[in-house]
Amino acid sequence: MTSSSSSLCLVATPASTTPSLLEEPTMPPRLNTITVHTSLLFDPQRKSWLPNVSIQVNTQTGAIVRLQHRNTSDLLSPFEPNDIDLRGKFVLPGFVDSHTHIFLRIERPHSQQMRDQSPVERTVRATNHARAALLAGYTTYRDLDTEALGNADANFRDCINRGIIPGPRMFVATEALASSGGYEIRTENKLASGSSLGLSVPRAADTADGVVGVRAAVRRRVGEGADVIKFYGDYRRRTMRFPPDVPGPGGRILFPPERRNPAVLLFTQEEMDAIVAEARMARMPVAAHTGETRTALMAARAGVTSVEHIFEDSEGVMEEMFEEMARQGTIWVPTLMTAEAYYGGQDIFRWCKMAVKRAYDRGVRLAAGGDTGVMNHGLNVREMEIMIEAGIPVEDVLVAGTLTGWHACGGDACGFRFGWWDEGNRADIIALDADPRKDARALRHVSFVMKDSRVWKRNGRPVDMIAATQWPEEDRNTSDDSSDPTDFVPESAVEEA
C-alpha cells in the first residue's frame, strides 16, 4: 500500500496481441474478482482524467487489487463473467460528504425533529436517507452529530458495516461538545432549572466546561464509539433574549435588533487547544462548528482537522483566518448548501461563495460537505455544484468531494483508504453519464455505484436488495399436493434452532 501522496500507479498492457487485459490470460475466470473497464477515469491526485484504465477489485476484501492501463479503449478479449463495462462514462472514486446529519431531513425544522419526533421514526427515516445517499454516489459520510439522539449514529454505522442496511461508509461524531447553555433545544415553556414545571427536552450536546471538562468530554465520545470529535466553537446561544416569532397576535418581537441572534463564542482558546490535544491522543480528527471567522481562526490555531460553515466576518479577520488555515493545513467544509437553503438570493449567500473562492485562491484546502439533512440526502451534489458556480475549477471541486474528504475523516487514522485510486484502497467506484467539465448538472446523473466491491446501482437502476429469509429451493417447488405444510421449515429457522 503506497502513500496517499503518490501518483496513481498503473500497469501498462504491452502493445501486442496479448489475449487479455489481465496479468495471467490463461487463468480461468476469477470467482472472487471483478474487473471494471473504463475509458475515462478521474484521478484526484493528478487532478486529471486518465484514458483506458481497468480496475480489478476483490469481492471478499472489498479492496482494489490492481490498476491497469490499456493502450486502447477496445478490449482485446471477451469479457470475463464478472467484468463491468463503464467505457463511455465518466468514472470517479465514490463521493465523500464531509458534513452530514443522517437523522435530519429538510421538511421539518430540526429543533422540532429533535424535540417531537420519536427515535424510531427518525431511525427509519435515516435508513431511507442512507440508501438515497448511496444511490447518489456517496460511498462515505462524515456524520457530525445525531442532534439529540445520543450515540445512535454509532449504532447506525454498525448496521451498515454489518450489511443489515445499505448506506455510505460512516464516520460519526455521536454527540457534539458544547459549553453550558451553548447548544440546546430552546423553548419558552421552561421555568427555572430543576423545576418540575415546563417542558422537558432531550439534550442536544455533551456539555463540558473548562480544560479538564472538555478533555473528559472527548474521552466520553471516544468511549461511546465516535470516529471524529465535533465541538461547537460558537453558536446562537442568546436566542432567548429575542425569541423566534410565532404565528398569531402578540407572537412577534416588535423591534428586534439588526443582529437578532448572532453567533457567540462557546469555548476559549485554551479549551479548544485542550479538545484537539485530547483527540490527538486518541488519533481522532476534530471538526469545529464555526459560524464566525474569528471562531474559525481560533479553531485553526488549536489545530483542528476542519472548520465547518463560516457565514460571517463581523470582526474583519477573514484574511488572517485564511493565512492561518493555509499554514496549518486546516480543511474548510463551507456547507454552501446550507447557506443557499437559508440565505439564497441574499447578500450573505453571495458573500459565502465569494469567501470560498477567495479561500481557494489563498491555498486553503476545501472539502465538500453540505450539512446534508438541511438539504435532503440524495441531493448532496448540490454542494459541489455551488463550488463550481463560485468559480472553483471542476477538477478541484472533485478533489474536495473525494480525496480531501478522506483527509477530513482522519486520513490513515480512520482505518481505511478511499477517495483516490491505489491498490489496497476501498473499491468505491461511481460513473456519471455526462461530462462534469461541460454539463453543470452532470453530477446528478450517477448511473453506477460500487462500494467495497459490491454493486448497488447499475445502468441507472438500484440493485441493492438485502437478502431476506426465504424458502430453500427444494421446498419451493413440489408436485405433492398432499404434503403437510408444517414439513416446510425455513432454512434460516433451522440454523437459528
> What pLDDT does residue 442 have?
98
Strand partners, 430: 92, 449
Q: What is the pLDDT of residues 251-283, one digit of tens each?
A: 899 999 988 889 999 999 999 999 999 999 999
CA pair distance 228, 218, nearest whole angstrom: 10
Euclidean distance between the first and final Cα of the chain, in Å? 43
Q: Is the pLDDT of residue 76 over 70?
A: no
91-141 pLDDT, tens digit each: 999 999 999 999 998 777 777 766 778 899 999 999 999 999 999 999 999
| Three-state secondary-structure class, residue 460 | coil
Which H helix or E strand runs over 211? Answer: helix 210-223
With cut-offs at 50, 70 and 90, classify the pLDDT of residue 20: very low
Identify the three-state secondary structure at position 254.
coil
Nearest to 143 by CA among 174, 172, 163, 185: 172
Residue 111: exposure state from Cβ atoms within 10 A (0-12, 13-18, ≥19): middle
Provide the 3-class DSSP secondary structure of residue 336.
helix
pLDDT tens string 473-495: 777 665 555 455 445 444 444 44
pTM of this structure: 0.88
Taking residue 4's Cβ as centre, other Cβ atoms within 10 Å add up to 17
Q: State how far the Cα of 210 lies from the Cα of 268, in Å rounded to an integer.
A: 8
What is the rounded distance in angstroms from the CA atom of residue 222 to the CA atom of residue 279? 9
Query: Residue type for 249, please?
Result: P
What is the model's pLDDT at position 336? Answer: 98
Residue 18 scores a pLDDT above 90: no
Q: Are 135 and 463 in contact (CB under 8 A)?
A: no
Q: What is the pLDDT of residue 2?
A: 40
Q: What is the structure's pLDDT at 10?
A: 59
Q: Is 280 exposed, middle or buried (0-12, 13-18, 19+ CB in 10 A)?
A: middle
Query: For the range 209-214, what are the long-range contacts, defined as Cβ-Cβ under 8 Å and sequence gap of 24 or more?
Result: 209/179, 209/180, 209/271, 210/271, 211/270, 211/271, 211/274, 214/177, 214/267, 214/271, 214/274, 214/275, 214/278
C-alpha cell at 152: 445512535
Integer Cα distance of 262 and 292 in angstroms = 9
**DSSP string for 357-398:** HHHHHTT-EE-----BTSSPTT-TTHHHHHHHHTT--HHHHH
What does the DSSP 8-state code read for residue 83? -
Tell me the domains of the chain and their CATH numbers: 1-93+419-497 (2.30.40.10), 95-417 (3.20.20.140)
Q: Please state, in angstroms and rounded to a whole number, the distance separating the CA atoms of residues 224 and 229.
A: 11
Length of the chain counted residue by residue: 497
Residues linked to residue 97 through DSSP beta bridges, in sequence order = 141
Quickly state the pLDDT bin for 244 (edges 50, 70, 90).
Answer: confident
Our separate counts of H helices and E strands in the chain read 14, 24
> Does 194 have pLDDT greater than 90?
no
**Mean pLDDT over each residue of the chain, to the nearest integer:** 88
Q: What's the rounded Cα separation, in Å, for the pair 68 and 337?
A: 37
Give pLDDT, residue 467: 67
